[in-house]
Structure 1
């Protein structure tokens, strides 16, 4: 194990070898091969090229150097092409702060059974008078920047659960093709994270219709990892064990406190009136995130109204399994 793998468990190191083709004997050479390609794209400002940074891109593309460099280039190109999104890319930016405090995203402390970090979005929490969709996307990207510093997550990856309960047609109408395309480019094409699954629960019919808009922009691999569960949490539990989920998703964990992740980034004593001075530099951050301090919460931020009692399942179509979005063809 090289110093670049310091802190990894033996199980995760073996997983990286088997699933990602990671070889500690050639790690530095693999990184240097990617770094040598930078001269081929003088149009892009590569603002960070250290070993640790390039390694996360290699892991995201299973050590295929050409695909790794393409992702690295797209990462910085996306930021160059959307300068307004990243000019104040820090936790004390008012738009990002509001989105975080509204629970975009929620980050569960307990990983799934495969070690993947679970992110949750309660769509109905989007107050369009308070946060723009762009601010929500920025808050998600900033959160991922913090999380991806953790080497275990670079290897194990992430799971995203979106609860569409009480998400109105009026709210959905604000998800324009341009906004959806921006989100797909930022998350699917330009960020070094491994997403093992994207799960929709309690989605209304117009979210199905939205798929026809985003389908042309999705890679086949991405489409196969998106699942529509409707109100059938049993199918969700076939993919993510209830022991890993809060009660909102029929899990055995307590209801999720939407303030946990916001407090992790904004500090332990925040409230709605606090002005923050903490900053986060996505290109130079060192160290990994810490856990939230549950005792400092002044309130539980609003959650989906779809919560069920721990350990219980919704009754509809209990014998059905989740359908990937691709099955809507």
Structure 2
């Protein structure tokens, strides 16, 4: 027996104010007709024209056709501007991503008839999915739900489960993708949407407590944070529709069953859910393949060169292409393109020797199977940050031999990293200038080495956290080894403090690499190798510290002995002076001392006599 849903209070108020529009078929048909007329008059807006699609925007706009039309135009302008964040593939093409079981529609609605969408962020494998893939795939579930009459009337609830939320996911959730995703959800033609965040960690709870007072009242009405307090969640969603892991009474979520529901509705998604504008656009890979599948005709001068150097003529070229194509088609385990332009690559590389070209093609395919990530052709928009660095470029003109000129600038850094380096460099120079002003005798001099270490360590970690592409176990390894060694040989600290700072540097680096790094089969081996290298750097630093300390101690002892000897000699000289003056008058003693210094041969041969009167 199906459960009767409690009407949504928002819609109850609307119906009372508008005279129960949902029950007035004439008014609904009139609003649909008015909106359809407005859409038909906009030539650049190619969307579905069926009643159910029109009702999405009408219900979200209180059945006001002009507001619904403005909302629709706004949505599709946003979609045209950020096309890469909207779905353009069928569910089967997302099969691998769906198998990660991180998003699904729950089978039952809540007590107010709202659809429940569950997103388990901890299940996302960041090595196999990008943030844009996840955002696009969500469209499949949400579009299916929005085509349901009850969902349009009552709204949707998004439950975001952050259980098992890894540190590297902070980097996975790029600021741009997060902002666009939030704007996208805000523009969806749904009258009522709520977001409930559960299973947050203690760190996230602390951040939420800091950010929560800054949120607007409207945001607080739609976004709720529950942590692991299921009683708080049940105030908004009845436990009768939730699985046990959220304190509910329903069985565990069956992801396979919900995915099968998605596959069963594949044709519906193609025919109804996606608009003509989105369905007309093919994927970048298909468009790229179609663009390069047509073999261009060579200019006359290059045709002559091809005939002399490659034995290529129009007749022999087509004959060899057909021969190579037959060889490829006969190999059942070889799944590659067979268009003329693709086959010509290998034929020209082997001077139209079909056997060698086929062997080269086989090796190419084996390499593609072993390293598929190296052969994936991304959308230019997905690599916009790399293109903006201008590190790679293809010149418009060819060289004298007709070859393409490709320039790769190794030293190019993106603006963010350059700015970060300049900022930390300025801070270090500021610290150096401050030290040169004579603060050695102040009470804060002891804190300068610790401040220098914090600056260096912060710069190292900032470069890892703000790196746009994937962090690997080798990133910044040279810098951390150098920093670890310099701690012992440059900072004027006791050995125990150097060891503590070195351990802090190594620990923070390893945690950052493991947390932000892409999980793969070699990550553990790389981390172990990093630990060995860091241990070696520490041993070298300790050795250098010991040798320098020993040398300083020896120099100190020698200086101390020299000073002691000098004090003894001075004391003995003073004693001799007092003894001499006790026997002889001062002027005689002075004259005798001068004669002793002037000539060593005349010692004890001179008699000192002086006459004194009136004594």
TM over 0.5: yes
Q: Does the CA-based 8 Å contact 1:114-1:156 persist in structure 2?
A: yes
Q: Does the CA-based 8 Å contact 1:47-1:283 persist in structure 2?
A: no
- Rounded to whole Å, the distance in 2 between the matches of 1:172 and 1:120 is 20
- Rounded to whole Å, the distance in 2 between the matches of 1:211 and 1:222 is 15
Match of 2:26 in 1: 25
CA deviation vs aligned residue, 1:246-289 (integer Å, no higher than 9, x gap): 00101011111222221211259xxxxxxxxx555456259xxx
Q: Does the CA-based 8 Å contact 1:12-1:155 persist in structure 2?
A: no
1:264 matches 2:261: yes
Shift of 1:169: 2.0
Match of 1:157 in 2: 155
Q: 1:246 aligns with which of 216, 238, 243?
A: 243
Shift of 1:87: 7.0
Instruction: State how 1:283-302 maps to structure 2 within 5 Å.
Output: 284-285=272-273
Match of 2:97 in 1: 99
1:173 matches 2:171: yes
Where does the alignment leave 5 or more consecutive residues of structure 2 unmatched?
A: 275-615
1:47 matches 2:35: no
- Rounded to whole Å, the distance in 1 between the matches of 2:111 and 2:268 is 30
Q: Does the CA-based 8 Å contact 1:91-1:280 persist in structure 2?
A: no
- Rounded to whole Å, the distance in 2 between the matches of 1:91 and 1:143 is 10
Match of 1:71 in 2: 71
| Structure with more contact order per residue of length (Cα contacts < 8 Å, sep ≥ 6) | 1
Where does the alignment leave 5 or more consecutive residues of structure 1 unmatched?
A: 1-8, 269-277, 287-329
Match of 2:227 in 1: 230
Task: Give the direction of change, closer, same or farther, for the CA distance of 1:29–1:79 in structure 2 (3 Å limit).
Answer: same
Q: Does the CA-based 8 Å contact 1:89-1:281 persist in structure 2?
A: no
Shift of 1:33: 2.8
**Given the two structures, how large is their TM-score scaled by the length of structure 2?**
0.39
SS in 2 for 1:228: strand
1:201 matches 2:205: no
Q: Does the CA-based 8 Å contact 2:87-2:136 persist in structure 1?
A: no
- Rounded to whole Å, the distance in 1 between the matches of 2:62 and 2:74 is 17
Task: Give the direction of change, closer, same or farther, for the CA distance of 1:129–1:210 in structure 2 (3 Å limit).
Answer: farther
- Rounded to whole Å, the distance in 1 between the matches of 2:212 and 2:130 is 19
SS in 1 for 2:252: coil
- Rounded to whole Å, the distance in 1 between the matches of 2:29 and 2:154 is 21
Task: Give the direction of change, closer, same or farther, for the CA distance of 1:223–1:46 in structure 2 (3 Å limit).
Answer: farther
Shift of 1:113: 0.7
Provide the aligned length of Structure 1 versus Structure 2: 264
Greater Rg over alpha carbons, structure: 2
Q: Does the CA-based 8 Å contact 1:137-1:183 persist in structure 2?
A: yes
Shift of 1:88: 3.1
SS in 2 for 1:224: helix
- Rounded to whole Å, the distance in 2 between the matches of 1:238 and 1:87 is 34
- Rounded to whole Å, the distance in 1 between the matches of 2:38 and 2:12 is 24
Q: 1:138 aligns with which of 116, 136, 142?
A: 136
When structure 1 is superposed on structure 2, of 235-244 and 251-260 the one drifting more is 251-260
Shift of 1:26: 1.2
- Rounded to whole Å, the distance in 2 between the matches of 1:90 and 1:76 is 20
Match of 1:82 in 2: 82
Q: 1:255 aligns with which of 252, 256, 261?
A: 252
The root-mean-square deviation of aligned C-alpha atoms, in Å, is: 3.5
CA deviation vs aligned residue, 1:181-216 (integer Å, no higher than 9, x gap): 121122211x22344421011223347748999999
- Rounded to whole Å, the distance in 2 between the matches of 1:89 and 1:254 is 31
**Greater per-residue helix proportion:** 2
Q: Does the CA-based 8 Å contact 2:7-2:113 persist in structure 1?
A: no
- Rounded to whole Å, the distance in 2 between the matches of 1:87 and 1:238 is 34
SS in 1 for 2:227: coil
- Rounded to whole Å, the distance in 2 between the matches of 1:153 and 1:25 is 22
- Rounded to whole Å, the distance in 1 between the matches of 2:41 and 2:217 is 28
Q: Does the CA-based 8 Å contact 2:6-2:111 persist in structure 1?
A: no
Task: Give the direction of change, closer, same or farther, for the CA distance of 1:225–1:17 in structure 2 (3 Å limit).
Answer: closer
**Given the two structures, how large is their TM-score scaled by the length of structure 1?**
0.69
Q: Does the CA-based 8 Å contact 2:5-2:111 persist in structure 1?
A: no
Shift of 1:107: 1.2
- Rounded to whole Å, the distance in 2 between the matches of 1:259 and 1:207 is 32
- Rounded to whole Å, the distance in 1 between the matches of 2:126 and 2:237 is 31
Task: Give the direction of change, closer, same or farther, for the CA distance of 1:282–1:184 in structure 2 (3 Å limit).
Answer: farther
Instruction: State how 1:290-329 maps to structure 2 within 5 Å.
Output: none
Task: Give the direction of change, closer, same or farther, for the CA distance of 1:39–1:266 in structure 2 (3 Å limit).
Answer: closer
